Amino acid sequence: MVQRAGSADLPLHGGRVPRWLGDRMTRLGAVITAAIVLEYGRDEMLRRLAHPFWFQSFGAVMGMDWHSSGITTSVIGALKRGLAPLSAEIGIHVCGGRGSHSRQTPYELVAIGDRMGFDGAALARASRLVAKVDSAAVQDGFDLYLHGFVVTDEGHWVVVQQGMNGDRRQARRYHWLSEGLRSFVDEPHSAIDGVDQGMIVNLTDRRADASRQRQLDILGELGPDGIERQLAKLLGGSVAEAGSQTQPMLPHLVMPAHHDVRPEDIVARRLHGNLAAAAECGPRDFAELLLVPGVGARTVRALAQVAEVVHGAPYHFSDPARFSVAQAARIGIRFRCR
């Protein structure tokens, strides 16, 4: 089973890593990883990557700014490049990456599984589910844009993925580890490093079990039409108005300046289609609901709102951050290995 091991909130930095630094990070990351695997084993390397403080230190040792959000992209990219020619020797494979590379993760996992003899399709499902949990089950204001999946020859893995909040100019990093967890959706975190965002949509909270179950129930009890009617009542008709007035039949996309999902952002026609797709799939549990194509933050939030109204099952809980560290530092200081 899997465990979400931690996360980190980081200042958002612009710019690109110079080629000389990227090349050095590639070589240094491969050497350090090989040394750790030789001395302590592959599983220990995964545990270290799953710890947000160690990961940040790893990036600093490799040469990045010690508190930069760019550490995540740079480390994952450097490991993917550096470990590719060594994968047969040390038994660690790096999949995914930033942007379009993240969407290739499931296909890469299936290919590696076929080659190494483990269930790549199951890991591809885990990859999709981990991303859905951090984007839909936990709605903390950060949109995912990077997804790195590191897997060993035994099929053990760690996920490091990152989200961005442009309004606050921060990035938040999420770590998952494939050992010691009983559920993808019920308090999967062992530690989260970051600034507490207060009350958020947090359906991984153990107290949200009723909401998770009731969302499945109302899909069958009310159906898409009934859910939409309940939501329209709850929002004072704003869902229907959003569908009929702000979204004409001809394609016209207007994205709001605010980052969080608000009632006026819900488009009735699309919501109805997503609910219909979920009802047709008949998910047996909340994890399966998250994996239904098209079901994302807006659909989950709408289901949670109706579940609270109909069944009294709350969905707002505190951000699962456990502790935080100071973020004040001078930008541009680069740490180098001597």
Residue 44 has pLDDT above 80, yes or no: yes
* Structural domain count of the chain: 2
Contact between 82 and 29 under an 8 Å Cβ cutoff? The reply is: yes
Domain match, 123 and 191 both: yes
Predicted confidence band at 333 (pLDDT cuts at 50, 70, 90)? very low
Residue 135 has pLDDT above 80, yes or no: yes
Mean pLDDT of 105-116: 97
Domain match, 65 and 187 both: yes
- At residue 334, the pLDDT reads 39
User: Worst-scoring range by mean pLDDT, 67-76, 157-166, 238-247?
Assistant: 238-247
Mean pLDDT of 281-289: 96
Higher pLDDT among residues 320 and 215, named by residue: 215
Report the first-to-last Cα separation within the chain, whole angstroms.
Answer: 40
Domain match, 17 and 142 both: yes
Residue 219 has which token pair? 């899909």
Domain match, 144 and 289 both: no
> Reduced to 3 states, what is the DSSP secondary structure of residue 264?
helix
Amino acid symbol at 252: H
- At residue 330, the pLDDT reads 29
Q: Which helix (H) or strand (E) holds 30?
A: helix 19-40
Domain match, 73 and 160 both: yes
Distances 111 to 107, 108, 187 between C-alpha atoms, Å: 6, 5, 31
Residue 270 has pLDDT above 70, yes or no: yes
Task: Give CA 245 to chain center in angstroms.
Answer: 33
Contact between 201 and 301 under an 8 Å Cβ cutoff? The reply is: yes
Residue 243 has pLDDT above 50, yes or no: no
User: Worst-scoring range by mean pLDDT, 122-136, 170-184, 253-267?
Assistant: 253-267
Domain match, 103 and 60 both: yes
Q: Sign (positive/negative) of CA torsion 273, 277, 280, 286?
A: negative
User: Worst-scoring range by mean pLDDT, 63-72, 86-95, 183-192, 295-304?
Assistant: 63-72
Residue 264 has pLDDT above 70, yes or no: no
Residue 327 located in a structural domain: no
Residue 110 has which token pair? 């299936």
Domain match, 178 and 38 both: yes
Sheet holding 143-152, edge to edge: 3-11, 170-177, 157-165, 143-152, 92-98
Distance CA 152, CA 266 (A): 41
Q: What is the dihedral of CA 128, 133, 137, 143, to 10 degrees?
A: -90
Contact between 160 and 175 under an 8 Å Cβ cutoff? The reply is: yes
User: Worst-scoring range by mean pLDDT, 92-101, 108-117, 133-142, 315-324?
Assistant: 315-324
Mean pLDDT of 320-326: 51
Q: Which helix (H) or strand (E) holds 145?
A: strand 143-152
- At residue 53, the pLDDT reads 86
- At residue 188, the pLDDT reads 78
Residue 18 located in a structural domain: yes
Structural domain span for residue 74: 3-196
Contact between 127 and 149 under an 8 Å Cβ cutoff? The reply is: yes
Distance CA 170, CA 197 (A): 12
Global pTM reads 0.82
> Reduced to 3 states, what is the DSSP secondary structure of residue 147?
strand
Residue 201 located in a structural domain: no
Residue 290 has pLDDT above 50, yes or no: yes
